Protein backbone atom coordinates (compact mmCIF):
# COMPACT_ATOMS: atom_id res chain seq x y z
CA UNK A 1 0.00 0.00 0.00
CA UNK A 2 1.45 3.34 -1.07
CA UNK A 3 -1.11 5.76 0.37
CA UNK A 4 -4.70 6.18 1.52
CA UNK A 5 -7.30 8.95 1.50
CA UNK A 6 -10.30 9.30 3.78
CA UNK A 7 -12.87 11.25 1.77
CA UNK A 8 -16.38 12.26 2.96
CA UNK A 9 -18.12 9.66 0.76
CA UNK A 10 -15.46 6.99 0.27
CA UNK A 11 -12.12 5.63 1.41
CA UNK A 12 -9.37 5.26 -1.22
CA UNK A 13 -6.32 3.00 -1.01
CA UNK A 14 -3.46 3.41 -3.47
CA UNK A 15 -1.91 0.06 -4.44
CA UNK A 16 0.57 -1.19 -7.04
CA UNK A 17 -0.78 -1.28 -10.60
CA UNK A 18 -0.45 -4.89 -11.76
CA UNK A 19 -0.80 -4.52 -15.54
CA UNK A 20 0.55 -8.03 -16.12
CA UNK A 21 -2.70 -9.62 -14.95
CA UNK A 22 -3.00 -12.71 -12.77
CA UNK A 23 -0.94 -15.86 -13.15
CA UNK A 24 -3.44 -17.61 -15.43
CA UNK A 25 -4.04 -14.53 -17.58
CA UNK A 26 -0.28 -14.50 -18.17
CA UNK A 27 -0.29 -18.13 -19.28
CA UNK A 28 -3.20 -17.48 -21.65
CA UNK A 29 -1.10 -15.04 -23.65
CA UNK A 30 1.50 -17.71 -24.42
CA UNK A 31 1.82 -19.57 -27.70
CA UNK A 32 3.89 -22.31 -26.06
CA UNK A 33 4.09 -23.60 -22.50
CA UNK A 34 6.57 -25.67 -20.55
CA UNK A 35 7.38 -26.76 -17.01
CA UNK A 36 9.98 -24.00 -16.95
CA UNK A 37 7.21 -21.41 -17.31
CA UNK A 38 5.22 -23.08 -14.52
CA UNK A 39 8.33 -23.32 -12.34
CA UNK A 40 9.12 -19.62 -12.80
CA UNK A 41 5.65 -18.69 -11.57
CA UNK A 42 5.75 -21.19 -8.71
CA UNK A 43 9.16 -19.97 -7.57
CA UNK A 44 7.88 -16.40 -7.40
CA UNK A 45 4.69 -17.46 -5.59
CA UNK A 46 6.54 -19.59 -3.04
CA UNK A 47 8.96 -16.71 -2.40
CA UNK A 48 6.06 -14.37 -1.64
CA UNK A 49 4.37 -16.92 0.63
CA UNK A 50 7.63 -17.75 2.43
CA UNK A 51 8.15 -14.03 3.08
CA UNK A 52 4.66 -13.74 4.63
CA UNK A 53 5.20 -16.84 6.73
CA UNK A 54 8.58 -15.60 7.97
CA UNK A 55 6.62 -12.71 9.50
CA UNK A 56 3.99 -15.12 10.88
CA UNK A 57 1.31 -13.93 8.48
CA UNK A 58 -1.18 -16.44 7.08
CA UNK A 59 -2.79 -15.21 3.84
CA UNK A 60 -5.69 -17.72 3.82
CA UNK A 61 -6.98 -16.93 0.32
CA UNK A 62 -4.26 -17.92 -2.14
CA UNK A 63 -5.68 -18.58 -5.61
CA UNK A 64 -4.74 -17.60 -9.18
CA UNK A 65 -6.85 -14.42 -9.01
CA UNK A 66 -4.67 -13.16 -6.15
CA UNK A 67 -1.31 -13.88 -7.81
CA UNK A 68 -0.51 -10.82 -9.95
CA UNK A 69 2.33 -9.70 -12.20
CA UNK A 70 3.39 -6.05 -12.21
CA UNK A 71 4.27 -5.92 -15.92
CA UNK A 72 3.77 -7.78 -19.18
CA UNK A 73 7.49 -8.27 -19.67
CA UNK A 74 8.70 -9.46 -16.26
CA UNK A 75 8.07 -13.13 -15.43
CA UNK A 76 9.63 -13.06 -11.98
CA UNK A 77 8.17 -9.99 -10.21
CA UNK A 78 4.94 -11.26 -8.73
CA UNK A 79 2.64 -9.72 -6.14
CA UNK A 80 0.43 -11.63 -3.73
CA UNK A 81 -2.77 -9.61 -3.35
CA UNK A 82 -6.02 -9.46 -1.38
CA UNK A 83 -5.07 -9.84 2.27
CA UNK A 84 -8.68 -9.53 3.43
CA UNK A 85 -8.52 -12.91 5.23
CA UNK A 86 -4.92 -12.59 6.38
CA UNK A 87 -4.08 -12.81 10.07
CA UNK A 88 -1.11 -13.24 12.35
CA UNK A 89 -0.39 -16.89 13.17
CA UNK A 90 1.93 -17.39 16.13
CA UNK A 91 2.11 -21.17 15.69
CA UNK A 92 0.78 -24.03 13.57
CA UNK A 93 -2.35 -24.60 15.66
CA UNK A 94 -3.66 -21.17 16.63
CA UNK A 95 -6.29 -20.29 13.99
CA UNK A 96 -9.91 -21.42 13.94
CA UNK A 97 -11.78 -19.15 11.50
CA UNK A 98 -13.21 -21.01 8.51
CA UNK A 99 -12.45 -18.92 5.43
CA UNK A 100 -10.97 -19.13 1.94
CA UNK A 101 -12.17 -20.05 -1.55
CA UNK A 102 -13.85 -23.44 -2.19
CA UNK A 103 -11.38 -24.99 -4.64
CA UNK A 104 -8.31 -23.81 -2.74
CA UNK A 105 -9.16 -24.05 0.96
CA UNK A 106 -7.14 -26.50 3.08
CA UNK A 107 -8.87 -29.56 4.59
CA UNK A 108 -7.94 -28.67 8.17
CA UNK A 109 -9.91 -25.43 7.82
CA UNK A 110 -12.98 -27.35 6.66
CA UNK A 111 -12.58 -29.90 9.45
CA UNK A 112 -12.72 -27.06 11.98
CA UNK A 113 -9.48 -27.97 13.74
CA UNK A 114 -6.81 -25.41 14.78
CA UNK A 115 -4.44 -24.60 11.92
CA UNK A 116 -1.55 -22.30 10.97
CA UNK A 117 0.33 -20.93 7.97
CA UNK A 118 0.64 -24.33 6.30
CA UNK A 119 -2.97 -23.94 5.16
CA UNK A 120 -1.50 -21.53 2.59
CA UNK A 121 0.86 -24.24 1.33
CA UNK A 122 -2.11 -26.45 0.47
CA UNK A 123 -3.53 -23.59 -1.63
CA UNK A 124 -0.14 -23.16 -3.31
CA UNK A 125 -0.28 -26.88 -4.13
CA UNK A 126 -3.66 -26.46 -5.83
CA UNK A 127 -2.26 -23.57 -7.91
CA UNK A 128 0.73 -25.74 -8.87
CA UNK A 129 -1.61 -28.58 -9.88
CA UNK A 130 -3.56 -26.20 -12.13
CA UNK A 131 -0.46 -24.67 -13.73
CA UNK A 132 0.96 -28.10 -14.54
CA UNK A 133 -2.18 -29.92 -15.68
CA UNK A 134 -4.81 -27.32 -16.61
CA UNK A 135 -7.31 -28.90 -14.23
CA UNK A 136 -8.38 -28.87 -10.57
CA UNK A 137 -7.35 -31.58 -8.11
CA UNK A 138 -10.66 -31.30 -6.25
CA UNK A 139 -13.97 -30.44 -7.87
CA UNK A 140 -17.71 -30.91 -7.67
CA UNK A 141 -21.04 -29.60 -8.95
CA UNK A 142 -21.68 -27.59 -5.77
CA UNK A 143 -19.56 -26.01 -3.04
CA UNK A 144 -20.58 -28.85 -0.71
CA UNK A 145 -19.32 -31.40 -3.23
CA UNK A 146 -16.03 -29.54 -3.53
CA UNK A 147 -15.62 -29.32 0.24
CA UNK A 148 -16.36 -33.03 0.55
CA UNK A 149 -13.65 -33.82 -2.00
CA UNK A 150 -11.13 -31.53 -0.27
CA UNK A 151 -11.82 -33.16 3.10
CA UNK A 152 -11.08 -36.58 1.60
CA UNK A 153 -7.89 -35.17 0.10
CA UNK A 154 -7.69 -37.74 -2.69
CA UNK A 155 -6.34 -36.61 -6.04
CA UNK A 156 -4.71 -38.23 -9.07
CA UNK A 157 -1.58 -37.59 -11.11
CA UNK A 158 -2.32 -40.43 -13.51
CA UNK A 159 -4.50 -38.83 -16.19
CA UNK A 160 -3.15 -37.99 -19.64
CA UNK A 161 -2.36 -34.37 -18.78
CA UNK A 162 0.23 -35.62 -16.27
CA UNK A 163 1.97 -38.00 -18.68
CA UNK A 164 4.45 -35.35 -19.81
CA UNK A 165 5.07 -33.79 -16.39
CA UNK A 166 8.39 -34.58 -14.73
CA UNK A 167 8.59 -36.80 -11.61
CA UNK A 168 10.13 -33.87 -9.70
CA UNK A 169 7.14 -31.61 -10.41
CA UNK A 170 4.74 -34.37 -9.38
CA UNK A 171 6.72 -34.84 -6.16
CA UNK A 172 6.37 -31.15 -5.28
CA UNK A 173 2.60 -31.22 -5.83
CA UNK A 174 2.26 -34.42 -3.79
CA UNK A 175 4.14 -32.93 -0.84
CA UNK A 176 2.14 -29.69 -0.92
CA UNK A 177 -1.22 -31.48 -1.13
CA UNK A 178 -0.77 -33.54 2.02
CA UNK A 179 -4.02 -33.61 4.00
CA UNK A 180 -2.08 -33.79 7.26
CA UNK A 181 -0.46 -30.34 7.70
CA UNK A 182 2.25 -31.85 9.90
CA UNK A 183 3.42 -33.85 6.85
CA UNK A 184 2.87 -31.03 4.37
CA UNK A 185 5.82 -29.18 2.86
CA UNK A 186 6.21 -25.56 3.99
CA UNK A 187 6.95 -22.65 1.65
CA UNK A 188 10.67 -22.57 2.39
CA UNK A 189 10.96 -26.30 1.70
CA UNK A 190 9.07 -25.76 -1.54
CA UNK A 191 11.63 -23.17 -2.65
CA UNK A 192 14.41 -25.66 -1.93
CA UNK A 193 12.67 -28.59 -3.61
CA UNK A 194 14.68 -30.45 -6.26
CA UNK A 195 12.25 -29.37 -9.00
CA UNK A 196 13.38 -25.78 -8.47
CA UNK A 197 17.01 -26.55 -9.21
CA UNK A 198 17.10 -29.22 -11.93
CA UNK A 199 18.47 -28.16 -15.31
CA UNK A 200 15.95 -26.37 -17.51
CA UNK A 201 16.58 -28.78 -20.41
CA UNK A 202 15.19 -31.58 -18.22
CA UNK A 203 11.90 -29.72 -17.79
CA UNK A 204 9.25 -31.00 -20.16
CA UNK A 205 7.17 -29.16 -22.71
CA UNK A 206 3.56 -29.34 -21.55
CA UNK A 207 2.01 -27.32 -24.37
CA UNK A 208 -0.77 -29.92 -24.67
CA UNK A 209 -2.04 -28.75 -21.29
CA UNK A 210 -2.28 -25.14 -22.51
CA UNK A 211 -5.60 -25.99 -24.18
CA UNK A 212 -6.92 -27.35 -20.87
CA UNK A 213 -5.68 -24.21 -19.10
CA UNK A 214 -7.55 -22.04 -21.60
CA UNK A 215 -10.74 -23.97 -20.94
CA UNK A 216 -10.22 -23.79 -17.18
CA UNK A 217 -9.57 -20.04 -17.34
CA UNK A 218 -12.70 -19.43 -19.44
CA UNK A 219 -14.85 -21.25 -16.87
CA UNK A 220 -13.12 -19.31 -14.06
CA UNK A 221 -13.92 -15.99 -15.76
CA UNK A 222 -17.54 -17.05 -16.21
CA UNK A 223 -17.83 -17.93 -12.50
CA UNK A 224 -16.36 -14.54 -11.59
CA UNK A 225 -18.81 -12.71 -13.88
CA UNK A 226 -21.81 -14.59 -12.47
CA UNK A 227 -20.67 -13.94 -8.89
CA UNK A 228 -20.15 -10.22 -9.63
CA UNK A 229 -23.66 -10.02 -11.13
CA UNK A 230 -25.18 -11.69 -8.06
CA UNK A 231 -23.36 -9.31 -5.72
CA UNK A 232 -24.38 -6.29 -7.81
CA UNK A 233 -28.03 -7.35 -7.78
CA UNK A 234 -27.95 -7.87 -4.01
CA UNK A 235 -26.34 -4.45 -3.46
CA UNK A 236 -28.91 -2.81 -5.75
CA UNK A 237 -31.72 -4.51 -3.84
CA UNK A 238 -30.29 -3.46 -0.49
CA UNK A 239 -29.84 0.11 -1.74
CA UNK A 240 -33.47 0.30 -2.91
CA UNK A 241 -34.71 -1.10 0.39
CA UNK A 242 -32.58 1.40 2.34
CA UNK A 243 -33.89 4.35 0.29
CA UNK A 244 -37.45 3.17 0.82
CA UNK A 245 -36.91 3.03 4.58
CA UNK A 246 -35.47 6.54 4.54
CA UNK A 247 -38.45 7.82 2.53
CA UNK A 248 -40.83 6.28 5.05
CA UNK A 249 -39.04 8.19 7.79
Q: What is the 3-state secondary structure (H, E, C) of the chain?
A: CCEEEECCCCEEEECCCCCCCEHHHHHHCCCCCEHHHHHHHHHHHHHHHHHHHHCCEECCCCCHHHEEECCCCCCCCEEECCCCCCEECCCCCCECCCCCCCCCCCHHHHHCCCECCHHHHHHHHHHHHHHHHCCCCCCCCCHHHHHHHHHHCCCCCCCHHHCCCCHHHHHHHHHHCCCCCCCCCCHHHHHCCHHHCCCHHHCCECCHHHHHHHHHHHHHHHHHHHHHHHHHHHHHHHHHHHHHHHHCC
- Please identify which of the residues 9, 16, 22, 61 carries the catalytic annotation: 61
Phi-psi region of 21 (alpha: psi -120 to 50; beta: other; left: phi over 0): left
* Cβ-Cβ contacts under 8 Å for 218 (sequence gap 6 or more): none
Phi/psi of residue 51, nearest 5 degrees: -65, -45
25 is catalytic: no
By DSSP bridging, strand 57-58 and strand 87-88 are antiparallel
What are the catalytic residues? 61
Amino acid sequence: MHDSFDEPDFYAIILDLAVGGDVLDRVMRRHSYSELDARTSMNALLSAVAHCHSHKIAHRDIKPENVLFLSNNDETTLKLSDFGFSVRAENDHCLLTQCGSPFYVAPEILHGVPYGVKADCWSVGVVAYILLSGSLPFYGDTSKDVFRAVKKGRFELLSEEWDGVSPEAKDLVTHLLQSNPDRRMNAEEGLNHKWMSIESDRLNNIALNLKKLRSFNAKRKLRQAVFALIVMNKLTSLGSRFRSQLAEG
